[in-house]
Amino acid sequence: MEIQKVALRREYSYEIVLGREITAALVGKILRLRGSRQCAVLTNETVARWYLQPLVAELRSRGFDTLELVVPDGEAYKTLDTANSLYPRLFAAGLDRRSPFITLGGGVIGDLGGFVAATYKRGLPFVQMPTTVLAMVDASIGGKVGVNTPEGKNLVGAFHQPALVGIDVATLRTLPQAQTANGLVEALKHGAIADAAYFKFITKNVEAWKARNLDLLQRLVRRSVHIKKEIVEADELEQGTRAILNFGHTFGHAFELLGGYSRYQHGEAVGLGMLAALAVARGMGLLKEDYSDALRAFLQEFGLSLTFPAAWTTDDLIAAMVQDKKRRAEALVLVLPVMLGKVELVPIPFAELPRHLAPLRSLAA
């Protein structure tokens, strides 16, 4: 078992614990949070099948009165309706402001549960136990929690830092490969923005990822956690530098939106979004090292899309991009690559977008 510490100014610091078969050790740490002996575990029907009972058994054996909350699987349930269905159960069980609220699952469960933990009685100690690569390397770190509304994804939410993050990479044994690929793209993004050697480590070990090699997966999660946590520590509330984590995302969100949120998986859209950012940076003369081929080869290994439909015009893409909640009023700030491990924030006035985004046609098919 290994530990990384996150040091934040706004709230207390917390530990990210990483290892395999670490349930007992984690429950020991939850005990030491010195909350109440009442706790809740939120998961979904899929994850519950393998991982809920061992956790609940361990919690109960250590004296926790444990409320089990199991919701259906899917992004469609990351809503206020689902949250609303949970609050009455917390009240009925008598959870107070010191009761640990544990989320066991992917990013959907972490975001939804984090939102409930942030809002029930103005905040419960929140423990994240991510079970997807994406949630381990991305969603469980940084304190962003929230739900989707008809107006869009993640538009209602909060910053609620966890009290503890417990990452058991052994849970990745059951993760479907398409989901693994989704998370690997976010890890690749960490390499692209902050660590060239890490990017190469990921692209060179395709077979290990496909074989779910837990030693290598643990190395990957360790490095990504470290990169993301350092960026978050420097800019907890996303007022500046943290925006580099959006590399591939302004384009990716546009692809997701135009694809009706069903054509592309999130990681797939981000992979395509990084290719888009590379094309735009190349066109602007910003790109000193072009790693498009390595990225394309990696995405292809996992059957991820390398193109978007030619019917989507540059104007369609621009309209979708400026809808993104991270835009500024007069210009769109793009995260553009310079070389492996380095990106820049580049504000582009709206009027100049058509010209600078023209190179995206190279990804249309």
Judge contact between 282 and 290, C-beta under 8 A. yes
CA distances from 205 to 208, 270, 292, 365 (A): 5, 20, 17, 29
Distance between CA atoms of residues 198 and 187, nearest Å: 9
User: According to CB under 6 A, which one of 71, 117, 120, 144 is a site residue for ligand NAD?
Assistant: 144
User: According to CB under 6 A, which one of 40, 44, 69, 165 is a site residue for ligand NAD?
Assistant: 44
Distance between CA atoms of residues 200 and 192, nearest Å: 9
Q: x/- string (CB under 6 A) for ligand NAD, residues 104-133?
A: -xxxxx-x-------------------xx-
Stretch that binds ligand NAD, among 19-27, 44-52, 56-64, 306-314 (CB under 6 A): 44-52
Q: Taking CB positions, which residue lies at the least distance from ligand NAD?
A: 107
φ, ψ for residue 10 (rounded to 5)?
-70, -40
Residue 29 annotated in active site: no
Residues 48-77 that bind ligand NAD (CB under 6 A): 73, 75
Q: Which of 105, 80, 259 is nearest to 171 (CA)?
A: 105
Tell me the one-letter amino acid at 134: L
Q: Could you tell me the smallest distance in angstroms from the CB atom of residue 196 to ligand NAD? A: 23
Q: Which of 325, 343, 154, 153 is nearest to 248 (CA)?
A: 343
Residue among 100 and 114 whose Cβ is closer to ligand NAD: 114
User: According to CB under 6 A, which one of 99, 171, 224, 250 is a site residue for ligand NAD?
Assistant: 171
Rg (CA), the chain: 20
47: contact with ligand NAD by CB under 6 A: yes
Judge contact between 164 and 29, C-beta under 8 A. yes
- Footprint on this chain of ligand NAD (rule: CB under 6 A): 44, 46-47, 73, 75, 78, 105-109, 111, 131-132, 134-135, 138-139, 142, 144, 153-154, 171, 174-175, 179, 182
Which sequence positions are flagged as catalytic? 122, 144, 186, 228, 238, 242, 246, 249, 253, 266
